[in-house]
Structure 1
Amino acid sequence: MGYHTYPVDRADALEDPGRYRYCSREELLAMLEPSVDGVVADLGSGTGFYADDVAPFVDTLYAVDVQSAMHDRYREKGVPEAVEFVTAGVSSLPFGDDHLDGAYSTMTYHEYAPTTVDGRDTEGDDRGSLEELARVIRPGGRLVTVDWSADGDPEIGPPLEQRFGLDEATTQLAAAGFDIELACDRPATIAIVATR
């Protein structure tokens, strides 16, 4: 688990409106509670499918993706004015402390969440991705996570061994300094709202 990327050659699938059955734009906005002067980050933004939905409701939306080729694909379809591209991993975000009002990830937590052995990050990062999020999200800011469930259908989404269960994800977030406001285990996904 952890530190995977979505294949760029399959990026067209990220624009499938069928994705809304796993997290609708209304559900995402309700969990994120964006404000017109807000600064938020889309973690693993890909082609901007959900960034397009959130951008009209904030001042600045950072489309964060480790793959610059995903930003190129996003640019091809057109980018809302509020969107700024950031090519970085979640464990090394180029923001100051408390810079973000919120952040969200849709089906990407399994790509950046830490895989640990005896409390040590197996990838050797100086700072773990969740601790980095706790650093850049202001006190009271929200982190919304919707991802494939380890208990979900193995025919939908990434392999089960790459996924996290609700208890594991909430434990990781709490250990990084987040308070869990909402935690739901759904048929295919988990949904978590955590505040710093």
Structure 2
Amino acid sequence: MGHHTFDAAKADRLEGPERYRRVSAEELLGALSLDGTETVIDVGSGTGFYTDDVAVAAGRVLAVDVQPAMHAFYSEKGIPDNVSPVTAVADALPLTDGSVEAAFSTMTYHEFATAGALAELARVLAPGGRLVAADWSGDGAGDAGPPVAERYTPAEVRDQLSEAGLTLERLEERPETFLFVATVPGV
């Protein structure tokens, strides 16, 4: 897979409401199933577009991105009080074991989803914790988003989650994207 990151110089392109055509805020929040007290990680948070949607429903959100320039863009836009930017790669999160109740990724799974990153997410999620991701599908036509060769197919996602010890609860395949919900065993 390509595992490239989005060009931070084009961050403003990530701010349009057309992003909700791929996954709506309501769909994301429904999949996360938050009660308002949880600590949640946004993996590949970028400009904070979806982070802001989750922040209103969570106790605390850690906006994880590898690019400090994305955090700078988000800071200029205005970061909610319960959101903390964290500059880190997904396979080396500066968090303790089982310290978060949920994690999500919107259209960035293809950028970080290695065996190490998924194992790291499983490590920091508490038993019963949820991992939710919507991303571009390797089974898609490639008319939008990253090149098809840089994406994962739903079958590959199933295998990756299983290998990381996560339980796949739901996987929805769409014409160009997919959405999944996986949990950490133990509750």
| TM-score, normalising length: structure 1 | 0.92
Contact 2:65–2:87 under 8 Å retained in 1: yes
**Number of aligned residue pairs:** 184
| Structure 1 unaligned regions, length at least 5 | 115-120, 122-127
1:76 aligned residue? 76
2:177 aligned residue? 189
Contact 1:2–1:113 under 8 Å retained in 2: no
1:131 aligned residue? 119
Contact 1:151–1:165 under 8 Å retained in 2: yes
Contact 2:3–2:150 under 8 Å retained in 1: no
Contact 1:2–1:112 under 8 Å retained in 2: no
Give the secondary-structure state (helix, strand or coil) at the position aligned to 1:92: coil
Give the secondary-structure state (helix, strand or coil) at the position aligned to 2:56: helix
Contact 1:65–1:71 under 8 Å retained in 2: yes
Off by >2 Å, runs of 4+ in structure 1 = none
1:63 aligned residue? 63
Displacement after TM superposition at 1:35 (Å): 2.1
Identity among equivalent positions (%) equals 51
Q: What's the Cα RMSD here?
A: 0.9
Deviations 1:137-186 (A, max 9, x none): 00100000110011113120000000000010111011101000001110
1:23 aligned residue? 23
2:99 aligned residue? 99
Give the secondary-structure state (helix, strand or coil) at the position aligned to 1:84: strand
Mapping of residues 125-164 of structure 1, within 5 Å? 128-164=116-152
Give the secondary-structure state (helix, strand or coil) at the position aligned to 1:132: helix
Deviations 1:69-88 (A, max 9, x none): 10000011111111001000
Mapping of residues 161-180 of structure 1, within 5 Å? 161-180=149-168
